[in-house]
């Protein structure tokens, strides 16, 4: 069944199956499991790839309440239980990285390795919170059309794929989109605890990322004891695995072959 009953929610997930090492992909804010299609295709046959929709996103059926990324980390660990998986490598983009870091802090024995794409370990500065507050309000009062012209460029920066993601937003209730951004605004700072996360880690970051600037990826590289590399994707913005998969899939595959 594609729905996993976890922590009172029904998480939508897709499990590629197979006997290979388990890799769980967690998407960024306002994205869905579908953002990982290029990576799942590249890894087909060698790894058991699991993608899922987090609370307030995609096809997951949740209670609609605001939550924290510690709650999302608990969801991910519960999903592993549901799938009968003892240990997995966690790949997270942006908020997917937020929850993956917290899963590694909460249950280090369940995490084999980490891949963190355009993510961070700090809380948002005041300027970013003000911008996100405006986006949340825009979704709530005007729907996707009110924020799409600016937000799609910030998140993706690749106009040819903008219509697909605008369409995915248009399928969601305006309040759900607004609340998803509100959850993002509440992320707490775990930068002082990065030394506790000793698993091998690959950091991938778009050189031109605006929401999560490159120095935040460099912080992860410098403070995670198990960091093996920082892959900077030239000309890429916030979502390099989707916009520049040819630059991401090679380093990702090599890392997983050695550490997953």
CA nearest neighbour of 162 among 136, 133, 170 = 170
Residue 105 covered by a domain: yes
Residue 132 covered by a domain: no
User: Which pair of structure tokens corresponds to residue 204?
Assistant: 């991938």
For tokens 């913005």, name the residue. Answer: 237
Range of the domain at 201: 3-123+188-259
Is the pLDDT at 160 greater than 90? The verdict is yes
Contacts for 213 with CB less than 8 Å, ≥ 6 apart: none
Is the pLDDT at 209 greater than 90? The verdict is yes
> Rounded to whole angstroms, how far apart are CA atoms 63 and 253?
36
> Rounded to whole angstroms, how far apart are CA atoms 65 and 228?
37
Residue 91 covered by a domain: yes
For residues 202 and 118, the answer to whether their CB atoms sit within 8 Å is: no
Residue 135 covered by a domain: no
Residue 89 covered by a domain: yes
> Rounded to whole angstroms, how far apart are CA atoms 149 and 146?
8
CA nearest neighbour of 237 among 127, 170, 151 = 151
Is the pLDDT at 26 greater than 80? The verdict is yes
User: Which pair of structure tokens corresponds to residue 181?
Assistant: 């951004």
pLDDT band per the 50, 70, 90 thresholds, residue 185: very high
* Domain at 116, CATH number: 3.40.50.1820
CA nearest neighbour of 182 among 139, 228, 243, 227 = 139
pLDDT band per the 50, 70, 90 thresholds, residue 218: very high
Q: Per-residue pLDDT averaged across 136-165, rounded?
A: 95
Residue 153 covered by a domain: no
Structural element, H or E, at residue 149? helix 144-155
* H helix count then E strand count, the chain: 10, 8
Residue 16 covered by a domain: yes
pLDDT, position 214: 98
> Rounded to whole angstroms, how far apart are CA atoms 15 and 83?
9
Residue 137 covered by a domain: no
DSSP class of residue 85? Answer: -
Is the pLDDT at 1 greater than 90? The verdict is no
Q: How far is CA 146 from the centre of its chain?
A: 24
Provide the number of structural domains found in the chain: 1
């Amino acid at each position: 069944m594609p729905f996993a009953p976890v922590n009172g929610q029904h998480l939508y997930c897709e499990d590629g199956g197979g006997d290979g090492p388990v890799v769980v992909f967690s998407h960024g804010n306002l994205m869905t499991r579908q953002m990982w299609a290029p990576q799942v295709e590249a890894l087909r046959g060698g790894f058991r790839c699991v993608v899922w929709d987090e609370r307030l996103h995609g096809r997951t059926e949740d209670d609609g309440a605001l939550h924290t990324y510690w709650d999302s980390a608990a969801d991910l660990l519960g999903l592993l239980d549901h799938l009968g998986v003892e240990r997995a490598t966690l790949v997270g983009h942006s908020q997917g990285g937020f929850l993956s870091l917290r899963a590694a802090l909460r249950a280090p024995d369940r995490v084999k390795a980490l891949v963190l794409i355009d993510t961070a370990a700090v809380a948002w500065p005041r300027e970013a919170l003000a911008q996100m507050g405006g986006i949340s309000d825009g979704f709530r009062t005007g729907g996707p059309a009110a924020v799409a012209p600016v937000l799609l460029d910030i998140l993706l920066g690749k106009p040819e794929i903008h219509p697909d993601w605008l369409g995915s937003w248009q399928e969601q209730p305006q309040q759900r989109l607004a609340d998803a951004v509100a959850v993002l605004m509440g992320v707490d700072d775990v930068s002082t605890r990065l030394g506790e996360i000793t698993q091998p880690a690959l950091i991938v970051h778009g050189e031109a990322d605006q929401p999560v600037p490159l120095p935040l990826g460099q912080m992860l590289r410098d403070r995670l004891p198990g960091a093996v590399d920082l892959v900077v994707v030239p000309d890429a913005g916030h979502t390099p695995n989707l916009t520049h998969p040819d630059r991401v899939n090679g380093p990702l595959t090599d890392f997983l072959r050695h550490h997953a």
